[in-house]
Structure formats: structure tokens, C-alpha cells
Amino acid sequence: MTDARLAELIGRLPNLRLLTEPGDLEHYGRDWTRRWTPAPLAIALPASIDEVQAIIRWANAHHVAIVPSGGRTGLSGGAVAAQGELVLSLERMNRVMAFDAVDRTLTVQSGITLQAVHDASHAHGLIYPVDFAARGSCSIGGNIATNAGGIRVIRYGNTREWIAGLKVIAGNGELLELNRGLIKNSSGYDLRQLMIGSEGTLGVVVEATLRLTDPPPPSQVMLLALPDMDALMQVFAVFREKLSLQAFEFFTDVAQRHVLAHGAQRAIDGDYPYYVVTEFDAIDEQAMEAALAAFEHCVEQGWASDGVIAQSEAQAAALWRLREGITESLAPHRPYKNDISVRIAAVPAFLQEMQELLAREYPHFDVVWFGHIGDGNLHINVLKPDALADAEFISQCEHVTKLLAETLHRHGGSISAEHGIGLVKRAYLESTRSAAEIALMRGVRQVFDPNGVLNPGKLF
Ligand code: MLT
Ligand code: ZN
């Protein structure tokens, strides 16, 4: 170990697992963005809260930047370590600590995967309702850092609705126990909520107490093919009024082309501009009849061109794959990702404006639209044309994001709906937050992390 700072860290924590091999630096230094060349100083894999605290105190003493790290499935560079930072991976702190049947809470270490949280909740006959495709790899700590959303927000809300308490090591090295599982706590600022979505810039979450709830009633999954964006919003309005929705997701024909090429099964013959996968409560015959009536009404109005209802669990999974498989199917094309939100009512005007603008300015780009239309959250992925060099592609995509940011500003939207700002969207923060807000955010950061050791360069 040649680095004197690391030698001193080992002096403080002789049992700390520390990795410095090039393969490990590469592995832990990147997230799913794949845009930066990983160059961390080392990887620390603490096994206890005490070790995390000691690492942060050491970082303050030596002014070493720390990158908190979970499953590294993030899409905005929040977990990238490309500037000699110490990666603080919570991977080994992945246990369920407690279940409370009366409070209906599950207390977990922050390195646990979302899937393991689901499994532990099911074992007690309950659910943790936040869900999305990266469930098998992403960690709950990362979900909290970005206030992750996903495919069930329309029914259950974002991560922040489900956090009853947090244990955090703040940037100044203090251990904070925030809210302690209370339902009611009107005793001043809610620092727990401040931590959620702070992208590892205020503190490192080491433990979380999650609220659980009853499993939803039996449901049904339907795929619909639609002629245009206006129809999409009309179908949404009808389905939301007539059914009890658990999910309402959309994708375009371009997205379907990629996901089919990646092994998903076609469910509707022919190609249509837009598709919706929706899941809704289907408790009895009456609920199913209501769903069919809603669908037929949409067909009569010309808002739906075709549709399929899953006849089995396997078919429901196959329909969901058409939506959930999109990210994986796009990965080989090195997509430049945008994750925006506008108020639901502003979706059609925003989408039309953006599609026209992109077709005019960037006709050579394959642009894939999909996402959580029922939450006003759209994913806009620009795929790299083979002929374009990496640097030129990024530069053109940054211009696309600038156009997006300007359009969003006019529509009162946000440049990040659920992925976070990280490195990727840092330059566009002002399109969503006012100068006064950003100044206050910087001030808050200074209070929690006076030496700026936690995730510097991310968010701001
Ligand atoms: C999704 O909704 O599938 C995720 O946010 C991932 C993505 O945007 O690629
Ligand atoms: Zn999403």
C-alpha cells in the first residue's frame, strides 16, 4: 500500500476490507452510465456503522473525496468515481436487521438489494411497494439517495413515502438517527426527508426503516396499441376514471423494435406509434367487465387500435417484459439518457413540441421514448449512430439536453424525475431550480458536509 492516506486509514481500521487492484477500481468506479473512465483511489467495503463513520472522519482529516456506492445501477453518474475518490461501497452491509409486525416496518442495512427487500417483505405477508426493473441489482441506499420512483408510483408514490426512519453518517462524521420509525413527528425540520434524494452529498445512509403495506388485490395486465399521443392521454383519463390502476406505462414503436430484437415476444400484430402496459385491480368478474368496457369505449372513440389482456401469469410477465426490457435492449447502443417530468396535463404539448424539435434538428438520431406516463415522467433515450464518434455524439446529446431543459423550463417541468442530477444533468440544474433554491441547497450541503468530502461534483 503506497498511498500514505490509505496506510493511515488501515492504521485506524485494521480489519477494513480495502481493494486497490485495477480490476476492482474499474468495477466499482463506474455506474450504468458508462461515460467516465473509472479512476478511484481505492474501494472500501465496511461491514459496520462504526467503520463507515471512521472512514468519513478519516476523509475529513485528509480531505479525501468519498463516493457512496450501492448497486451502481444509477443512470446519471451519481456513483461514478473518476477523480481519485475513495469509493465507499455498502455492498457488505446488506442484512435485514428487524421486522416489526405492529408498526409494519422492515429495518435493513442500506446495501441490501431492492429484490431482497421485496423477498423479506413477502415472507411476512406484506409488500414494500417501490419497484422497477433494476430491482435485482440496485440497493435501497441508492434508491433513497435518488428518491427512486419506478413503475408503481401511480399507486404508491416515490421512495420518500416509504421511509419511516434513517440512520445516516453525515458528511461531518456525526451519526444521525432520523425520525426513528415515527408516523407523527412534528418537532421541526424533517432531516430524514432532506436526506432522501440528496444523492450522497449530505450523508451516507447506513440503515433504513421501511414502511410495508398489504399486497394489492389480484390484478390484470393489459397491453394496448394506440394511434397517437392525444389518444394516449385520453386512454389514460378513461382507465384512471374507470379502473383502480396499479401501473400505467408507455413506450413507442421504436422502443418496441429494440425490445423485440432483444428477445421479447410480440403481443400485438402490426406496428403502432404508441403502446401502453397497464396493470389494474381485477378483484372479480365485475372489475374485468369494467376493464373490457373501458377498452371498448377507447376503441370506439378511435383512441385504441388494438389490445391484449394477459391470460396467465406467464403472459402478464411477457407483456411487462415489453416495457421492462427496454433499458437492457438499448444498452448496447450506448444511449444518452434523459429522465424528465412535467405535470400530467402538460405531457401532450411538451411531447409534441420536443418530438418536432428533435425531428427538425437531429433527424439522424434514433430517439426512444418510454416511461411512466401516468406520473408525467418520460424517458428520452438518444442512441449513438455508428457513424458518429463518441465525443461528437456526447456533444450533440448535450445540445439535445439543453433544448430539453429550455422546453421543460417553459412547461414548468424537471430535468430529473427519478434518476437524479449526478454528473450527467449538473449543468442543467438551473432549468429546474431557481438561483435562490440552489443557493439554499448549497448552504444546506455546507452544514452537513463542511469539508465537502461527500460526492463532490455531483448535483452541483
Ligand atoms: C425505467 O423506467 O425503465 C428506468 O427508469 C430505467 C431507464 O430509464 O432506462
Ligand atoms: Zn423509469
List, for residues 271-321, the tens digit of each pLDDT value: 999 999 999 999 999 999 999 999 999 999 999 999 999 999 999 999 999
Separation in Å, CA 355 to CA 68, 104, 108, 230: 36, 45, 43, 14
Place of cell 417541468: 413
Output the CA torsion 60→64→65→67 (10° steps): -90
pLDDT of residue 34: 85
Q: Is the pLDDT of residue 195 over 90?
A: yes
| Ligand 1 closest atom vs CA 149 | 5
| Ligand 1 closest atom vs CA 324 | 3
Task: Tell me what ipTM this predicted complex has.
Answer: 0.98
Instruction: Band the pLDDT of 179: cuts 50, 70, 90.
Output: very high
Which of 327, 340, 419 has the most ligand 1 atoms within 8 A of CB, as the residue to mutate? 327
Between CA 275 and CA 143 the distance in angstroms is: 27
Beta pairing class for 86-89 and 66-69: parallel
For residue 196, how many other CB atoms are within 10 A of its CB?
23
Domains (range + CATH), the chain: 96-211 (3.30.465.10), 219-327 (3.30.70.2190), 334-419 (3.30.70.2740)
pLDDT of residue 146: 98
E strand spans, 227-365: 245-252, 274-281, 306-309, 336-341
State the chain's mean pLDDT as an integer: 96
Q: Whose CA is nearest to atom 2 of ligand 1?
A: 371
Beta pairing class for 86-89 and 42-45: parallel
Between CA 253 and CA 273 the distance in angstroms is: 5
- Copy the grid coordinates of residue 82: 473518476
| Ligand 1 closest atom vs CA 372 | 2
pLDDT (tens digit per residue) in 198-214: 999 999 999 999 999 99
- The mean per-residue pLDDT over the stretch 385-413 comes to 93
CB-facing half-sphere around the CA of 251: CA atoms within 13 A:
25
Sorted by sequence, the CB contacts under 8 Å of residue 16 that are 6+ apart come out as: 9, 10, 44, 45, 46, 51, 55
Q: Is the pLDDT of residue 334 over 90?
A: no
- The mean per-residue pLDDT over the stretch 117-143 comes to 98
Pocket-forming residues, ligand 1, beta carbon under 6 Å:
75, 132-133, 327, 337, 339, 371, 379
Q: Is the pLDDT of residue 355 over 60?
A: yes
162 CA → ligand 2 middle, Å: 18
pLDDT of residue 1: 57
pTM for the predicted model, two decimal places: 0.96
Q: Which ligand is nearest to the CA of 381?
A: 1
375 CA → ligand 1 middle, Å: 13
Instruction: Band the pLDDT of 27: cuts 50, 70, 90.
Output: very high
371 CA → ligand 1 middle, Å: 7
Percent of the chain scoring above 70 in pLDDT: 100
pLDDT (tens digit per residue) in 79-106: 999 999 999 999 999 999 999 999 999 9
- Residue 179 has φ and ψ, to the nearest 5°, of 75, -20
330: left (phi over 0), alpha (psi -120 to 50) or beta: alpha
Instruction: Band the pLDDT of 2: cuts 50, 70, 90.
Output: confident
pLDDT (tens digit per residue) in 226-244: 999 999 999 999 999 999 9
143 CA → ligand 2 middle, Å: 12
